Amino acid sequence: MKIYIVGSVGSGKTTFARRLSKTLDLPHYETDNFVWQRNKGGDIRNSEEMRNELFQKVILQEKWIIEGVHIGWTEAAIEVADNILFLDVPIQKRKWRIIKRYILQLLKLEKANYKPTFIIFKRMFGWNLYFEQHMKPEFLEAFNPHKEKVVYLKTELEMTRWIEQNKSKYASLEA
């Protein structure tokens, strides 16, 4: 089973993907980790060739959860995913989550793949707005040919219900 999760920064993609991964016993991948080579001294951007090669290896697997905000080079995931989950969380809620995440990361109560700096914190608000105005319409257009497998989730309750409604379906596929 293949699940592709899309949403803006602060939409809950990673948290939701981790829950799904644990509940459905599916491996979880973040698109950021195809783009970036994580190092203690700082992240290094992978070449497009390396990024695409890493991504192709994953989407050719029989089961996965991929989550992220990238479009263009990730369209193959849209094609082969069994379910596309669009986390369409209201922008104000996402802003609050960005603030909360930054504070928790500074207090070392939440792990980050990157060094949480004030510059990145400020950029997240810009990325959030850019997603709403530009990327969201691009994703919606890319989803058009695949409407039958796209689910829009706006709240944590809807996300929890989706897991509950689908975990038996996924379990029966594994049997």
Query: Hey, where are the domains in the chain?
Result: 2-174
In the structure, what pLDDT confidence band is assigned to residue 114 with cuts at 50, 70 and 90? Answer: confident
Q: Residue 25 in 3-state DSSP?
A: coil
pLDDT at 49: 97
155 near 87, Cβ under 8 Å?
A: no
Return the CATH fold of 2-174: Rossmann fold (3.40.50)
pLDDT at 21: 95
Mean pLDDT of the chain: 93
pLDDT at 173: 62
Helix axes 156-174, 13-24, angle to 10 degrees: 30
The rounded distance, in Å, linking the Cα atoms of 156 and 40 is 33
In the structure, what pLDDT confidence band is assigned to residue 159 with cuts at 50, 70 and 90? Answer: very high
Model confidence, pTM: 0.91
pLDDT at 128: 96
Report the Cα 158 to chain-centroid distance in Å.
16
Question: What average pLDDT does the segment 118-147 reach?
Answer: 96
